[in-house]
Amino acid sequence: MADSTASPSTPAEPGRPTPTDRPVYVIGGGPGGLSVAYALRAQGLRAVVLEKSDRVGASWRRHYDRLHLHTTRRLSGLPGLPMPRRFGRWVSRDDVVRYLEKYAEHHDLEIVTGVEVSRVEPSPDGSGWLLHATGGRELTGAAIVVATGHNHTPYLPDWPGRDTYGGEFLHAGEYRNPAPYAGRDVLVVGVGNTGAEIAVDLVEGGAARVRLAVRTVPHIVRRSTAGWPAQFTSILVRRLPVGLVDRLARPVAKVSVPDLSAQGLPRPDTGLYSRVKEGAIPVLDVGLVDAVREGRVEIVAAVDGFEDGKVILADGTRVSPDAVIAATGYVRGLEGLVGHLDVLDARGKPVVQGARAPKHAQGLYFQGFTNPISGNLREMAIDAAKIAKAITHDRSRKVSRLPA
């Protein structure tokens, strides 16, 4: 990677562009940030990626070992470089990391590692954006793309008694593989895709007992049916009316997923796409249905709190697992970075994203803060090109261009 300021593996001081030679700064070296950087270069603009860790794809490196994409390889590649066929249809975590490394190298992206941006604000002269970063750095960019990731900061509910609970407790972000839990009793809290997959991983890895605490019954969808990936269907229906997709999904679910009511997982009484619009992505089945049906994963009530070394469930039951793994999701963690700019909603989500910038914060863009059913990587690839075009078309901003 040719980078006049730093290599992608060595923290260094970013360049100091003049007001007439300001780059677009991209905050975050994951797939969202890398794809935007490439798209900006394709438009002839200089893009500098600022990554707080020492390598690209840091969040992917922290995922659990078993993880594979639930979207197909062909529809998960970023612009300008398809994923290799040898990765197979469902790409593993390690291969995603390899791909991101190759992507940055292949496109010769300008990446500075070891630099964490703590705050973004308008530049004093009003012609761009000022970034406050580690080491007292102050960087001025013509435009900013925030791509720090949808899963940025682990979230834990404020359960009563959790702070004094003496048992083994960890967030799913700390889970790597089932080896430490062989022969043990484990309670997994949360039945999103992460919780469902960790529960299956624990069962297959030799845990003596695995319980899965469920507060809201999820929609479960087969990742692939007769060779037809769920992602294909999601792409076809995502622009249809919500009510219509809800109605179409019901008979499909009855045919493809058995009734697990007797095991504690009844069919949801709300529509699939209605739930998606509220932010609840269906569980893509990679073994949970069979594990629940066979009794290897036990469904229990949601966690209400902790007391006297026990976990209190919503139905009043008290359990004493050897370990509790909280698959309770993440928050975006954008408040310190841009919360003062009035660009976030009540849940900390950007009020606009993709190719749209907030009306009062022109030149500030957000990439990758949705979790669409059509595939996060696919949508980030599409949004990257749109963001780059939006920045290019903004003639009021002096953006540094690459040499012809």
Q: What's the CA gap between 96 and 67, in Å, rounded?
A: 10
Verify that 147 and 237 share a domain, yes or no.
no
Query: Sorting pLDDT into bands at 50, 70 and 90, what band is 6?
Result: very low
- Around Cβ 251, how many Cβ atoms within 10 Å? 9
Residue 219 has pLDDT above 60, yes or no: yes
What is the percent of the chain with per-residue pLDDT over 90, rounded to a whole number?
Answer: 86
pLDDT at position 393: 86
Please indicate, yes or no, if residue 383 is contained in any of the structural domains: yes
Verify that 266 and 172 share a domain, yes or no.
yes
pLDDT at position 395: 54
Q: How many domains does the chain have?
A: 2
Verify that 54 and 75 share a domain, yes or no.
yes
Report whether 97 contacts 60 (CB < 8 A).
yes
The arithmetic mean of pLDDT across residues 83-96, rounded, is: 97
Verify that 204 and 267 share a domain, yes or no.
yes
Residue at a domain's end among 326, 350, 376: 326
CATH code for the domain in which residue 310 is found = 3.50.50.60
Q: What is the pLDDT of residues 394-403, one digit of tens each?
A: 754 555 666 6
Please indicate, yes or no, if residue 41 is contained in any of the structural domains: yes
Please indicate, yes or no, if residue 181 is contained in any of the structural domains: yes
Verify that 341 and 376 share a domain, yes or no.
yes
Cα torsion 38, 42, 43, 48: sign: positive
Please indicate, yes or no, if residue 47 is contained in any of the structural domains: yes
* Triad 57, 60, 64: Cα angle to 5°: 160
Mean pLDDT check: name the lowest of 72-76, 124-128, 203-207, 289-293: 124-128
Please indicate, yes or no, if residue 301 is contained in any of the structural domains: yes
Verify that 180 and 308 share a domain, yes or no.
yes
Would you call 375 exposed, middle or buried from its count of C-beta atoms within 10 A (0-12, 13-18, 19+)? buried
E strand or H helix at 247: helix 242-256
In a 13 Å sphere around the CA of 226, the CA atoms on its Cβ side amount to 3
Q: What is the pLDDT of residues 168-211, one digit of tens each?
A: 999 999 999 999 999 999 999 999 999 999 999 999 999 999 99
Report whether 401 contacts 20 (CB < 8 A).
no
Verify that 190 and 322 share a domain, yes or no.
yes
**Would you call 16 helix, strand, or coil by DSSP?**
coil
Please indicate, yes or no, if residue 13 is contained in any of the structural domains: no
Verify that 35 and 67 share a domain, yes or no.
yes
Residue at a domain's end among 268, 291, 326: 326
What does R_g of the chain's alpha carbons equal in angstroms?
A: 22
Of 115, 121, 50, 122, which Cα lies nearest the Cα of 337?
A: 121
Please indicate, yes or no, if residue 1 is contained in any of the structural domains: no
Verify that 299 and 360 share a domain, yes or no.
no
- Residue tagged 């078993």 (tokens): 66
Residue at a domain's end among 275, 310, 326: 326
Residue 118 has pLDDT above 70, yes or no: yes
Q: Which domain holds residue 221?
A: 156-326
Q: For residue 48, what are the β-bridge partners?
A: 25, 110
Q: What's the CA gap between 363 and 380, in Å, rounded?
A: 18
Verify that 84 and 227 share a domain, yes or no.
no
Verify that 239 and 382 share a domain, yes or no.
no
pLDDT at position 180: 98
E strand or H helix at 140: strand 137-141
pLDDT at position 373: 85
Query: Sorting pLDDT into bands at 50, 70 and 90, what band is 8?
Result: very low
Would you call 205 exposed, middle or buried from its count of C-beta atoms within 10 A (0-12, 13-18, 19+)? middle
Q: What is the pLDDT of residues 344-353, one digit of tens each?
A: 999 899 999 9
H helices of 258-333, in order, are 272-277, 288-293
pLDDT at position 72: 97
Please indicate, yes or no, if residue 101 is contained in any of the structural domains: yes
What is the percent of the chain with per-residue pLDDT over 70, rounded to a whole number?
Answer: 93
Verify that 192 and 319 share a domain, yes or no.
yes
